Structure formats: structure tokens, C-alpha cells
């Protein structure tokens, strides 16, 4: 909160020699995100990310952005979850965490592996283990390169990241050629992208594969790790989430997979995820660049300047969140009897079905004007539902199958990145 009190909600600074406006006003940030195309704002990723990841969905604008976003949502959006994606993810989750009992594990390393391999196997299925191992090695090098200074000298992390991306492209181009020449169909994202007539080139397909993997690589694993940490430190919340998931299990056979109806009943789990994101969000802010002079709050921001929409201060603002440093998932639940009564009346008057009613209840708690955990507007994270469902499935199996205790010596950093430098080690046993 020190920055807010010292400089105010909006101030000018410099980043790597370029002038930048930092905005911490949640209402103004939301306005800019919702209206960015109207007021002339475009993405402003660091050069290291743009040069290595490429011109992905986050960089394109207009009709191209809408088309690519639509295709991405068809792969990982709510409709895909209802049509079988949840069951595929659940099957993968069960396989991955079934044998942790009696072991001391680094949960940071485990969930990072789970997040990456789970996504990769949904994108490309039934390949030899050597393919996945090679892909993971190249992807890690590429990701490290995006977080380094863009110095293209052999031996630097950035240079290794560039080389790894070139090799990744070659690996995927070879796989694409093999798939297109084969009459065998596969139940994975790659096959859906190949069959989608909106894609005209292998390059665009490869861009989307890398985008899906890169977008969730750090965020999913870090959030899952911190959820385990917060639940361990808050027995009341742990008991509440266990009760929610044991109640789901009562009506299902042990081998029966989680479906959409089960997932929509995980309201407290969803609250736990949002509270974890509020306290330990991997994304501290969002960068934009002006394409023309922009008037903002009485000031003129010149063309070409960057604007950093800083979310971290909002997430910890005591005027928005009571006791902001306290882990309190209940703050995300719609507990107001008046609001529930209003929604129930709307449901009865307009003959809204049960799914829509539950969705409206969720929106009442999640869609406040200052909640920018997944962004807002046309660039709201298209993987929002995918990340929440993946967290939910992980927690469903983890809290009902295991109990755990932390091993001494763990150290966590929440800024500038959410990370356990030496891992977060826990001792796991059967519940």
C-alpha cells in the first residue's frame, strides 16, 4: 500500500527508459480494459515476450482477435467443459495424484508438472513419452527466456529462449505434417484446430498451442501451490471445502468422473480459488500502450506512452476488502439474503432455468467493479473457466484423498513473483 499513499492512484514514472503511467484506480482500470479499442489502447508486452512467444492472441486486434478468441473458447470455454473436457481433465488428475500418500513432496514442483503435462496431453494425445519430455525441456527454456532482458548474445537466457522456440516450432511442424497426412482422428485440441477452417496456416495453429500452454504455465501452478498453503494454515476453510467435496462424492460411485453439474456445485471451492488469486496473484498488472493522445482523469497521456494497470494494490485495499491480508474465502460467497431474494424473484418472474440462476448468483459475488483478477472487457482471460475448473478438480481429489503437513524450512515470496525459491515441501498421508 506504500505506493498508493505516496504517489496517489495515478502517477508518471519510467520503465527501462520509457515513460509510463501507473494507474491503481480500479474504476479507471476497468474503464480502460472495457473500452480499450475505443480509446486507442493496445497491448504492450515486453520485447522478450513478443520476440519469443510471437504475435499470439494477446497481440492481435479487431476481427482477427475475435476470430482467434472464438476458436480458443470453443476449445476451453464452458461449452467444451459441458461436452466432455471436464471428464478428460478429471481422468488426468486422478492418474497424476493417486500415489502421493506416504511421501514428502515438493508441491510447487508437482503442481507445475501437473499443470503443464495436463495441458500438453489435452492438446496433443497419444504421442511417445520422448515427445513430451523433449517438448517440456524446450518449453521451460523458452519460458525462462521471456522473463529475461532481451540481450541476443549466445549463452544468455534470452538467446536460449529464442533457440528453444525455434526448435519447438520445428517439433510442432513435424507433428502437424504427420497429423495432416494421416486418416486417423484424435480426440485432442490439435485435431480440432486442424479441422477448424478458420485457420489457414500451420504457423497460426502453432501460435495458439504455445499461447494456451504459456498462459497457464506459471499462473496455474503458483495458484494451486498457494491454495494448498492457505488451506493448510486455515483449518476452518479446509474443513468447509472438504465438506463440500465429500457431499459431492456421496451421490457418485468411486470411479464416476466429475461432470458439469458437479462442478457448478463447487461454490466454496470457487471462492477459495478467487481468494487465493486475490492474495497471491501471479499477474501484478496489465500493460497497454496509447496509439493516440489520450485524456484520462483530466490529464493528457501522449501517443506511444505505456500505461500499467496495477492490480496488486486493489486486491489488498482495505476500503474494498475488509481485513485484506486475511485469507477469507467467505467474502466471495453471495451471503446477502436480500440479494438472493432479488435473484430468486428474477428467476421466477422470467422463468430462468437453474443453471442461469446459479450463474447469476456467482456473478453477484465475482463481478464487482474492482475485481480484475482475470482482466475485463474483450480481453478477459479466455482460459478463466479452464483454470478454475482445473484448480477445482485438483482440490476435489487432493482434499478428499489426503491430509498434509508442511516440512520446516519452507520460504515463500509473493513479490515480484509468487514462488517458493527452494520448493514448498509437504508430508502427505491418506485421509
Interatomic CA distance for residues 147 and 126, integer angstroms: 31
What does the radius of gyration of the chain's CA atoms come to, in whole angstroms? 22
Backbone angles phi, psi at 261, to 5 degrees: -65, -40
Q: What is the pTM of this model?
A: 0.86
Partners of 402 in the β-ladder: 430
Share of the chain above pLDDT 70, in %: 87
Average pLDDT over residues 168-191: 90
Q: Is 368 helix (H, G, I), strand (E, B) or coil?
A: coil
- More confident position, 278 or 69: 278
Residue 386 Cα distances to 57, 89, 118, 236, angstroms? 17, 10, 12, 27
Q: Average pLDDT of 239-252?
A: 95
* Torsional sign, CA 413, 402, 427, 113: negative
pLDDT at 376: 82
Q: Which domains does the chain have, with CATH numbers?
A: 35-281+373-430 (1.10.630.10)
Q: pLDDT higher for 96 or 70? A: 96
Residues 331-388 have pLDDT tens digits of 998 654 444 455 455 545 555 555 544 444 444 457 677 788 888 877 788 888 888 9
The answer to whether the bond into 416 is cis (omega within 30° of 0) is yes
Phi-psi category of residue 257: left, alpha or beta, with phi > 0 → left and psi -120 to 50 → alpha: beta
Q: Residue 174 pLDDT more than 50?
A: yes
Maximum CA extent, the chain: 67
Cα within 13 Å of Cα(12), Cβ side: 9
pLDDT in tens, 224-241: 999 999 999 999 999 999
Is residue 138 within 8 Å of 206, Cβ to Cβ? no
Structural element, H or E, at residue 302: none
pLDDT digits (tens, 9 = 90+) for 99-115: 999 999 999 999 999 88
Averaged pLDDT of the chain: 85
pLDDT band at 203 (very low <50, low <70, confident <90, very high): confident
User: Is 23 labelled as part of a ligand binding site?
Assistant: no
Instruction: Answer yes or no: is pLDDT of 88 > 50.
Output: yes
Amino acid at each position: 500500500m506504500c505506493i498508493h499513499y505516496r504517489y496517489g492512484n495515478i502517477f508518471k514514472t519510467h520503465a527501462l527508459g520509457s515513460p509510463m503511467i501507473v494507474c491503481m484506480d480500479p474504476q479507471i482500470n476497468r474503464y480502460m480494459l472495457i473500452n480499450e479499442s475505443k480509446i486507442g489502447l493496445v497491448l504492450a508486452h515486453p520485447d522478450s515476450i513478443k520476440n519469443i512467444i510471437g504475435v499470439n492472441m494477446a497481440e492481435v486486434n479487431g476481427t482477427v482477435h475475435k476470430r482467434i478468441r472464438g476458436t480458443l473458447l470453443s476449445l476451453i470455454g464452458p461449452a467444451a467443459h459441458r461436452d466432455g473436457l471436464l471428464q478428460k481433465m478429471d481422468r488426468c488428475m486422478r492418474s497424476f495424484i493417486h500415489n502421493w500418500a506416504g511421501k514428502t513432496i515438493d508441491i510447487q514442483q508437482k503442481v507445475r508438472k501437473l499443470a503443464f503435462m495436463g495441458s500438453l496431453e489435452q492438446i496433443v494425445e497419444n504421442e511417445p513419452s520422448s515427445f513430451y519430455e523433449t517438448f517440456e525441456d524446450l518449453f521451460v527454456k523458452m519460458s525462462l527466456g521471456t522473463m529475461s532482458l532481451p540481450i541476443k548474445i549466445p549463452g544468455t537466457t534470452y538467446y536460449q529462449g529464442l533457440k528453444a522456440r525455434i526448435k519447438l516450432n520445428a517439433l510442432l511442424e513435424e507433428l502437424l505434417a504427420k497429423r495432416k497426412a494421416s486418416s486417423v482422428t484424435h480426440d485432442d485440441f490439435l485435431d480440432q484446430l486442424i479441422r477448424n477452417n478458420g485457420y489457414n496456416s500451420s504457423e497460426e495453429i502453432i501460435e495458439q498451442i504455445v499461447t494456451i500452454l504459456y498462459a497457464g504455465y506459471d499462473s496455474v501452478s503458483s495458484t494451486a501451490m498457494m491454495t494448498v498453503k492457505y488451506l493448510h494454515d486455515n483449518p476452518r476453510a479446509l474443513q468447509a471445502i472438504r465438506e463440500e467435496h465429500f457431499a459431492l462424492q456421496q451421490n457418485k460411485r468411486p470411479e464416476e468422473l466429475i461432470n458439469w453439474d458437479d462442478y457448478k456445485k463447487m461454490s466454496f471451492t470457487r471462492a477459495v480459488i478467487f481468494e487465493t488469486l486475490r492474495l497471491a496473484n501471479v499477474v501484478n498488472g496489465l500493460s497497454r500502450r496509447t496509439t493516440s493522445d489520450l485524456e484520462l482523469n483530466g490529464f493528457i497521456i501522449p501517443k506511444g506512452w505505456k500505461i500499467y494497470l496495477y492490480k496488486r494494490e486493489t486486491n489488498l485495499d482495505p476500503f474494498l476488502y475488509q481485513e485484506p491480508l486475511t485469507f477469507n474465502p467467505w467474502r466471495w460467497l453471495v451471503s446477502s439474503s436480500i440479494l438472493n431474494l432479488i435473484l430468486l424473484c428474477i428467476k421466477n418472474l422470467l422463468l430462468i432455468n437453474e443453471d442461469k440462476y446459479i450463474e447469476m448468483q456467482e456473478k453477484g459475488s465475482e463481478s464487482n467493479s474492482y475485481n480484475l483478477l482475470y482482466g475485463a472487457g474483450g480481453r478477459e482471460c479466455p482460459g478463466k473457466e479452464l483454470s478454475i475448473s482445473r484448480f477445482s478438480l485438483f482440490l476435489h481429489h487432493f482434499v478428499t484423498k489426503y491430509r498434509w503437513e508442511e516440512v520446516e524450512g519452507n520460504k515463500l515470496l509473493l513479490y515480484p513473483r509468487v514462488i517458493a525459491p527452494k520448493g514448498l515441501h509437504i508430508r502427505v498421508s491418506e485421509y
